[in-house]
Amino acid sequence: MREQSPFTIVIVCTGNVCRSPLAEQLLRARLDAAGVPAVVTSAGVDPGQGLAMPPEVVAQSIRYGGDPVGHLPRALDASVLREADLVLTATRGHRGDVARALPRASRYTFTIAQFARLLDGVAADLDTVASPWDLVDEAAAERGAAAPPEDPTVDDIEDPYRREAEVYDRVGERIAGLVDVIAARIIASARPGSTDQAGAAR
């Protein structure tokens, strides 16, 4: 049990220099501003040695309210996943990477876009969602009940690395929008009296 632990989120992409750090920094900023005691980190399935966030992503993080200072890419492994209460990935492929690294993490792993989409099906009044852990459980139940999208690629976020400026802009805007949806629901679920209670042991 983790009754005394903060809600922990890990965000995953390939190199941990574009999509996952941007989502990490924006989500952390929004939860911090709301006073939600959460730990938000990120990792990559194939982080490049010595790589840094591209200047385009640094600028986007600042523009959308994040703090990119000090980010260093790190590798995804089972030890990172064991600490997580929610894993969000850039693509379905990364979701599969998480499942291979730690099979039991599959039940609390979603793509970023998938999790935001599934939250639409969770009770809007959050009567049955008394904590962020409950929110993850409800989203997982919704995943089992809801029909998949006609185009499964809508649950993926494209990789902008070393591509044109308009791709960076498009990806950054999409990540910021998805993070806003997710942050709002986590903040709503972490109402007073709920954030000191954890979900079931992972």
Question: What are the pLDDT digits (tens) for 76-125?
Answer: 999 999 999 999 999 999 999 999 999 999 999 999 999 999 998 776 55
Residues shown for the chain? 202
The domain locations on the chain are 7-189
Token match 């309210």: residue? 65
Q: Considering the entire predicted model, what is its pTM? A: 0.91
> Rounded to the nearest 5°, which phi and psi values hold at 93?
-60, -40
At 176, which amino acid appears?
A
> Which residues in 62-78 are b (16+ Cβ under 10 Å) and which e?
eebebebeebebeebee
Among candidate residues 32, 74, 95, 125, the one labeled active-site is 125
Task: Tell me if residue 137 is catalytic.
Answer: no
Domain 7-189 CATH class label: alpha beta
pLDDT digits (tens, 9 = 90+) for 134-175: 999 999 999 988 888 899 999 999 999 989 999 999 999 999
Task: Tell me if residue 125 is catalytic.
Answer: yes
Task: Tell me if residue 13 is catalytic.
Answer: yes
